[in-house]
Chain A
Amino acid sequence: MPNLVEIRDLHFHYGERAILSGLQMDFPRGKVIAVMGGSGSGKTTILRLIGGQLAPRSGHVQVDGQTIDELDTPALYQIRRKMGMLFQHGALFTDLTVFENVAFPLREHSNLPEDLLHDLVLLKLQAVGLRNAAQLKPAEISGGMARRVALARAIALDPQLIMYDEPFAGLDPISMGVTANLIRKLNDALGSTSILVSHDVREAFLIADYVYFLSAGAIVAQGTPAEMSASSDPYVKQFVHAETDGPVPFHYAGRSLVDDLGLGAAE
């Protein structure tokens, strides 16, 4: 099967509010796929559906041939061992050192002898350039470093699928470049598949093989970064070139200014 993750006719609602409607997405093995869209477009929800933290109202998510929403808890936990997820702010365990954070999944899921585990963790930290920060607490490192530690933790079990939730949010340009570079390099080195949820056009286009554009819970455009840059789709154009007005209006919908100021023709 060429696709590690397949999404078919996926609908998701929070209560009565539709978040995602009729999604079809493919995530081929070995690729970095970016899912882009404005805040509240349902990007993160897709990751949670793939990870089985949310269940779809209808439709299916398949990971490595298994339908996520049909799995019982033990089977779900089993398949999650093939996934790594980088949360928006890293979600490091604040009471553990950097070393213990990366060691956590290894300690929970393997019985490695302590010296082997030690070497393994240092290698993971070496891969993100933070071997010498091993004994620091999460409170003692910068946001960009925390993101990299979380990345080392996410790849601790050599996952087939790595999901990134807004990995560039709140990072300075240097950390952003470093993180983007790491995502691409790790994906190729581990032979894994990466799903990158982001709204940073430049960084995402630099490293992604394929891009989905999401607006109001539906795919509005898809293609390679080059195709997207050249796209004439009004939404994509507005997003890629950061235009203030377009299909996504500048003004929150409601009464018109003329009405609010009482400037309409007297009745």
Chain B
Amino acid sequence: MILAPIANLGRWTRESVAGAGYAARTFVALLRASAGLWRRPRLITDQIHFIGNYSLVIIAVSGLFVGFVLGLQGYNILNRYGSEQALGLMVALSLLRELGPVVTALLFAGRAGTSLTAEIGLMKAGEQLDAMEMMAVNPLERVLAPRFWAGVIAMPVLAAIFSAVGVLGGYVVGVQLIGVDEGAFWSQMQGGVDIWDDIANGVIKSIVFGFAVTFTALFQGYEAQPTPEGVARATTRTVVIASLLVLWLDFLLTAFMFNK
């Protein structure tokens, strides 16, 4: 049938639009359900503790190795132009503007995001969310909202840790092992990094990623088929969707922020 591909395209489009609309409505419902949280900040701080702990080790170790690699590659490239003194600046800018927020968000999706999806999905499969509703407690407010804000708050902190450890990694390789001048490494960094252009933009990025990744993880868990296969599939979807979303948003934000 010649019409089949056209019909499929139409169906796919309709389903995509409906899906996006449904996700947007859930997002708004989640924001509304957050209103009651200011009376119970413990719910959020507990989750920051959990979520932060999940990801801290992997973020710190990855930051260190990314810093090592930046030190090596940066030195090799800058050396060609005789400007290896700028190594500190290059390492810092790469981390603060791009690698810190983006790699942190990708790792966060893989580590904390998947466990959030699985946790919520299993709560749904075990009828725990239904039980909560029957106890006149809104699961959006009691379960999803604290985790959401915890993710949004934890993400920039983790990105900051990633960047800080990364800079140290670049210092160890560049200065201690290769022998770039230590004074130049730090002073060029100090002189060239702008608190608004570089640091604030990086923080904004990671907050946006925090919204995107945490919401994706929670939504996938909340909408998972309440079966073992359903939860497994939802966990996979979290990684795929959150990663693509992060990379797409990064391009968008970079285009807005650094388009002089």
Interface assignment of A232: CB less than 8 Å from any CB of chain B: no
Q: Which of B89-97, B135-143, B184-192, B252-260 contacts A (4 or more CB under 8 A)?
A: B135-143
Interface assignment of A83: CB less than 8 Å from any CB of chain B: yes
Q: Which of A84-92, A196-204, A245-253, A258-266 contacts B (4 or more CB under 8 A)?
A: A84-92
Interface of B is mostly: helix
Q: Are B133 and A53 in contact (CB under 8 A)?
A: yes
Interface assignment of B126: CB less than 8 Å from any CB of chain A: yes
Tell me the complex Cα distance, A91–B132, Å. 9
Q: Are A108 and B130 in contact (CB under 8 A)?
A: no
Q: In the complex, how many residue pairs between chain A and chain B have their CB atoms under 8 Å apart?
A: 45
Interface assignment of B128: CB less than 8 Å from any CB of chain A: yes
| CB within 8 Å for A108 and B134 given contacts A87-B127, A94-B128 | no
Tell me the complex Cα distance, A81–B134, Å. 8
Tell me the complex Cα distance, A140–B122, Å. 18
Interface assignment of B200: CB less than 8 Å from any CB of chain A: no
Contact of B128 among A53, A77, A85, A93 (CB under 8 A): A93
Contact of B135 among A78, A88, A89, A108 (CB under 8 A): A108
Q: Are B128 and A91 in contact (CB under 8 A)?
A: yes
- Among B122, B130, B136, B137, residue most surrounded by chain A Cβ atoms (within 10 Å): B136
Residues of A within 8 A of B244 (CB): none
Interface assignment of A105: CB less than 8 Å from any CB of chain B: yes
Contact of A77 among B122, B138, B142 (CB under 8 A): B138
| CB within 8 Å for A85 and B137 given contacts A91-B127, A93-B128, A108-B142 | no
Interface assignment of A51: CB less than 8 Å from any CB of chain B: yes
Interface assignment of B131: CB less than 8 Å from any CB of chain A: yes
Interface assignment of A255: CB less than 8 Å from any CB of chain B: no
Tell me the complex Cα distance, A85–B131, Å. 7
Q: Are A88 and B130 in contact (CB under 8 A)?
A: no
Q: Are A87 and B130 in contact (CB under 8 A)?
A: yes
Shortest Cβ distance from A83 into B: residue: B134
Contact of A89 among B123, B127, B137, B138 (CB under 8 A): B127
Residues of B within 8 A of A88 (CB): 127
Interface assignment of A109: CB less than 8 Å from any CB of chain B: yes
CB distance from A105 to the nearest CB of B (A): 5
Q: Are B136 and A81 in contact (CB under 8 A)?
A: yes
Encode A37-63 as 1/0 by CB contact (under 8 A) with B.
000000000000001010000000000
Residues of B within 8 A of A153 (CB): 135
Task: Give how many B residues have a beta carbon under 8 Å from the other chain's beta carbons.
Answer: 14
Q: Are B126 and A91 in contact (CB under 8 A)?
A: yes
Tell me the complex Cα distance, A153–B138, Å. 17
Tell me the complex Cα distance, A85–B135, Å. 8
Residues of A within 8 A of B126 (CB): 89, 91, 94
Tell me the complex Cα distance, A150–B135, Å. 12
Encode B121-164 as 1/0 by CB contact (under 8 A) with A.
01100111011011111100010000000000000000000000
Contact of B131 among A77, A87, A108 (CB under 8 A): A87
| CB within 8 Å for A85 and B136 given contacts A91-B128, A94-B128 | no
Interface assignment of A80: CB less than 8 Å from any CB of chain B: yes
Residues of A within 8 A of B135 (CB): 80, 104-105, 108, 153
Contact of B134 among A78, A85, A89, A92 (CB under 8 A): A85
Tell me the complex Cα distance, A70–B137, Å. 19
Shortest Cβ distance from A165 into B: residue: B127
CB distance from B137 to the nearest CB of A (A): 5
Residues of A within 8 A of B138 (CB): 77
Encode A145-156 as 1/0 by CB contact (under 8 A) with B.
000001001000
Tell me the complex Cα distance, A72–B123, Å. 25
Q: Are A91 and B130 in contact (CB under 8 A)?
A: yes
Tell me the complex Cα distance, A83–B137, Å. 13
Residues of B within 8 A of A89 (CB): 126-127
Tell me the complex Cα distance, A89–B131, Å. 11
Residues of B within 8 A of A108 (CB): 135-137, 142
CB distance from B189 to the nearest CB of A (A): 43
Q: Are B136 and A91 in contact (CB under 8 A)?
A: no
- Among A81, A88, A91, A94, residue most surrounded by chain B Cβ atoms (within 10 Å): A91
- Among B123, B131, B133, B138, residue most surrounded by chain A Cβ atoms (within 10 Å): B131
Tell me the complex Cα distance, A181–B134, Å. 24
Since A78-B136, A91-B127, A93-B123 are in contact, a sample of 15 more A-B pairs with Cβ atoms closer than 8 Å, ordered by chain A residue number, is A53-B130, A53-B133, A77-B136, A83-B134, A88-B127, A89-B127, A91-B126, A94-B123, A94-B128, A104-B135, A105-B136, A108-B135, A108-B136, A108-B142, A150-B131
The 9 closest A-B pairs by CB, nearest first: A91-B131, A91-B127, A80-B136, A77-B136, A85-B134, A87-B127, A105-B135, A81-B136, A108-B137
